[in-house]
Amino acid sequence: MKEAEYAAARTARERSYVARPVFTLCAGCPVLLQCAEWAEVYRYTGLAAGAAYRNGRKEDHRNRHGLGSGHAARVTVAMLLAHALPRGACHGRGHWWTHHETQHIAAKDPASRQAAARPAFELCSTCPITARCRLWAEVDSYTGLAAGSAYRDGQRIDHTARNGQPSRRRSIDGKRTPK
């Protein structure tokens, strides 16, 4: 991977040469901002979102120290987006998951968002660790699709009942709130 080459580079010119193709690829990516957010959230070390990161902080590639070559440098941000939970149904499907999240984000109306997210939600319905995934999404302030719902900053934003009709939110005491 390019991260290992980047970490081994000794000069700014070498680092720039190694990183340029990765940064060029990132420039056209539809999930660039989400990728940058995840690099920060997961304290990622490596090349992501058109930048070099060390422990979740963007680094200037001209920095004389380069990046570490530990395990985190070999983990791609796309796999982090696919909930790297070992027994999850989505484990190892980072690119597939990212594709559906991107379609969900790009959708203009609620029906399109539901249609874009349906394959991911169907996968979640077969998952043995949905409760852990839901807790993970809330604790880590996740933004995206997880545990059969859409999340923004750890808050569930999918408020549609199973029959496709919008559901009314419930208050803390369990009573329905007025529309």
Mean pLDDT in order along the chain per 10 residues (179 residues): 71 75 69 76 78 76 40 36 61 79 85 91 88 76 83 75 47 51
pLDDT at 72: 34
Q: Measuring CA to CA, which residue among 137, 139, 175 is closest to residue 158?
A: 137
pTM (whole model) above 0.75? no
Residue type, 65: H
Number of domains in the chain: 2
Examine residue 126 and state whether it is found in any structural domain, yes or no.
Answer: yes
Residues 28 and 54 grouped into a single domain: yes
Q: Measuring CA to CA, which residue among 85, 101, 95, 91 is closest to residue 151?
A: 101
Full domain range(s) for residue 66: 2-77
Residues 68 and 96 grouped into a single domain: no
49 and 35 in contact (C-beta within 8 Å)?
yes
114 and 148 in contact (C-beta within 8 Å)?
no
Q: Measuring CA to CA, which residue among 96, 94, 101 is closest to residue 78?
A: 94
Residues 22 and 45 grouped into a single domain: yes
Residues 136 and 87 grouped into a single domain: yes
Residues 100 and 57 grouped into a single domain: no
pLDDT at 118: 93
